[in-house]
Amino acid sequence: MQALLRSLTSRPRLLAELLAASLLINILGLASTAFVMLVLGRYVPYGIDATLVTLSLGVTLALALEFGFREARRRLAAQALAPAALERGNAGFAALAGIRAAVFDRLPAAARADIMRAVDSVERSHTAPTLTALLDVPFSALTLLALLLISPALALIAGVGMALSVTVTLAGERWLRTRMANVQAAEQRGQHLVATVLRASDAVRAFNAGAWLHRRWSQTQADLAALRGDSVAVQGLISSATQFLTGAQGVAIIAYGAILCVEGTLSTAQLIGANILAARALAPLNRLAQLIEPLARAQWALRQLAEIARLPREQLAGNALRTLEGRLELSDIAFAYAGAVTPLAEHLSLSVPAGGIMLVAGPTGAGKTTFARLLLGLAEPLRGRILIDGMDMRQMSLEWWRRQVCYLPQEPDFIDGTIADNLRLNHPDLDDSALYRAIAQAGLKSWLDTTAQGLDTMVEDSGKRLPPGLRRRLGLARALAGNGKVCVFDEPTEGLDDEGRAAVYTALRQLAAEGRTLILCGNDPALAQGSGMLLDLGCKPVPRVVMAKEAPGHA
Ligand SMILES: Nc1ncnc2c1ncn2[C@@H]1O[C@H](COP(=O)(O)OP(=O)(O)OP(=O)(O)O)[C@@H](O)[C@H]1O
């Protein structure tokens, strides 16, 4: 609720206009009560038609004005909320794309998916009708004041009804707030199962995992239904309680008002007016009571977004070298993934000269991919330094550094755009001829010629639908398009046919001839040919660096 109102305090003029509109709406809202009282008090006893016509015209005008002010207020409220909504959406997306890779890696998949869901959840509750309902709450006092002028005793009864309604609402809000974490956790479990079914659709079918997943899904849904049922029950209880209060307040007002009428201190018209005003004073509080579930959900989502906003971002600003030679040095590097029993590297030190070629080998799980990710700044060492031409990577703009690297990941994925979009990601200024050159170097020219749209062919579903060999070669083309001084290729020949492997070897020979620094991760013996160094990650705890002539498989 505070966050919703905070979006107004930064725009005082809009706030003033909204408050003025609310004041006028609430004053005009009194007109219909005044009309009832005047008809009963002035027209009914004397029967003068002109009085009735005047009163009817007056109240109709007041209703029309009230309608106009309500519309204006709704537009103002939407206007007031729009910038905060836009900012939240942008901040959520920027967090998704910009949280430091090593930190993002540690976030559970469900928590990642939850970032934009949290933004959505806030937007669904922070709407113009919610804001206007909140703005009406303080003006209940105005209605109570009007009632006070009719009868202080009846105003006191209405005041008690309002205080009870606020108490019920606050208690319900507190109850929901404390249980929101459980609802959220059950929702996350459900999302996680859905994501698994979507991601591993073939495995789910081929290994008959559907029934097993379905059992877990049913359990999650049962938990969620119970938790949501509790929330709905509390919201329902609050609604029933506020309705009861409205009814009880009406009874009290009529009963005590009747006594005052008999005593002669209150007229019948005043009693009816007082009853209407008491109900009107309570109405905004009852509306607020209906909003506590969505508001509690939004508050929870905002807290999550605030936590996400505190996570460190990629280091995009920083130093850039005027000219890059391509010297790499690792000094006393230690690395372990969070929760891993043994570190992947301890006291790893090595140096690759500019234009040098190093093969990074080792059995499955030895850390070849992790080594490549360390060089890209996608994983961060626990200790030690990575130096590029003598400059510590931590002082460097990662955005600049990643532009200098031709990177081929083990499992290349792509953005959903055209091939040209993907090849230009890191270098938007590349012309088509540079893209065709990279495509030819990756041995994809004949494949591209078979496509109807060439470079404008769409890559969908992050490229997951492309055959693995083609995906890898498209990844190679993307790496080569960048023309970087340092090349980091992770398993460049894995899963390729003879033609694909030949294209990779030719490309590697060309890159070596051009004096690029090559870091080749993988166990393909042919990759060892021509490499000056071999880093054996299978050697624990300190990976061994050997020179070419000692390297196994080296020709
Ligand atoms: N993001 C991650 N979070 C936690 N552990 C990870 C992560 N990525 C990899 N690991 C673990 O780190 C170890 C090294 O993985 P890595 O992929 O670097 O090995 P690799 O030598 O490239 O293996 P392969 O030859 O199968 O590609 C493995 O035990 C792996 O399970």
ipTM for this prediction: 0.97
pLDDT digits (tens, 9 = 90+) for 420-430: 999 999 899 99
Three-state DSSP state, 552 = coil
Distance 368 CA to ligand 1 centre (A): 8
- Tell whether 322 is covered by a domain: no
444 and 522 assigned to the same domain = yes
- Residue numbers of the chain with a pLDDT score lower than 50: 549-555
Distance 410 CA to ligand 1 centre (A): 11
Q: Taking a C-beta distance cutoff of 8 angstroms, is the pair 273, 310 a contact?
A: no
Q: Which atom of ligand 1 is least distant from the CA of 372?
A: 18
Q: Taking a C-beta distance cutoff of 8 angstroms, is the pair 61, 87 a contact?
A: no
Model pLDDT, residue 221: 94
Residue where a domain terminates, one of 274, 309, 344: 309
CA-nearest residue for atom 9, ligand 1, is 370
- Tell whether 441 is covered by a domain: yes
Model pLDDT, residue 548: 54
Distance 151 CA to ligand 1 centre (A): 77
DSSP string, 4-42: HHHHHHT-HHHHHHHHHHHHHHHHHHHHHHHHHHHIIII
> What is the domain range of residue 289?
2-309
436 and 389 assigned to the same domain = yes
Query: Is the Cβ atom of 367 under 6 angstroms away from ligand 1?
Result: yes
Give CA–CA dist 254/268, Å, rounded.
10
Residue 177 phi, psi (nearest 5): -60, -45
387 and 480 assigned to the same domain = yes
Query: Is the Cβ atom of 517 under 6 angstroms away from ligand 1?
Result: no
42 and 182 assigned to the same domain = yes
Model pLDDT, residue 58: 94
Q: Which atom of ligand 1 is least distant from the CA of 490?
A: 22
- Tell whether 514 is covered by a domain: yes
Model pLDDT, residue 551: 43
CA-nearest residue for atom 1, ligand 1, is 105
Residue at token pair 């049962």: 222
Q: Which atom of ligand 1 is least distant from the CA of 491?
A: 27
Model pLDDT, residue 291: 87
Model pLDDT, residue 165: 93
Query: Is the Cβ atom of 337 under 6 angstroms away from ligand 1?
Result: yes
300 and 335 assigned to the same domain = no
Q: Taking a C-beta distance cutoff of 8 angstroms, is the pair 446, 402 a contact?
A: no
Q: In this structure, what token pair is assigned to residue 336?
A: 């372990």
Query: Probe ligand 1: pick from 99, 107, 369, max atoms within 8 Å of CB?
Result: 369
CATH of the domain at 419: 3.40.50.300
354 and 269 assigned to the same domain = no
Distance 370 CA to ligand 1 centre (A): 6
Model pLDDT, residue 555: 34
**How many domains does the chain fold into?**
2
Half-sphere exposure of 486 (CA within 13 A, CB side): 25
503 and 454 assigned to the same domain = yes
Q: Taking a C-beta distance cutoff of 8 angstroms, is the pair 488, 405 a contact?
A: yes
Q: In this structure, what token pair is assigned to residue 104?
A: 């993002």
CATH of the domain at 208: 1.20.1560.10
Query: Probe ligand 1: pick from 99, 107, 368, max atoms within 8 Å of CB?
Result: 368
Give CA–CA dist 28/392, Å, rounded.
69
251 and 341 assigned to the same domain = no
Model pLDDT, residue 214: 92
The pairing of beta strand 405-408 with beta strand 486-490:
parallel
Residue where a domain terminates, one of 309, 340, 364: 309
467 and 526 assigned to the same domain = yes
CA-nearest residue for atom 5, ligand 1, is 337
Give CA–CA dist 280/18, Å, rounded.
20
Query: Is the Cβ atom of 364 under 6 angstroms away from ligand 1?
Result: yes
Question: Over the range 467-486, which residues count as b (16 or more CB within 10 Å of their CB) and which as e?
Answer: eebebbbbbbbbbbbbbbbb
Residue 18 phi, psi (nearest 5): -65, -40
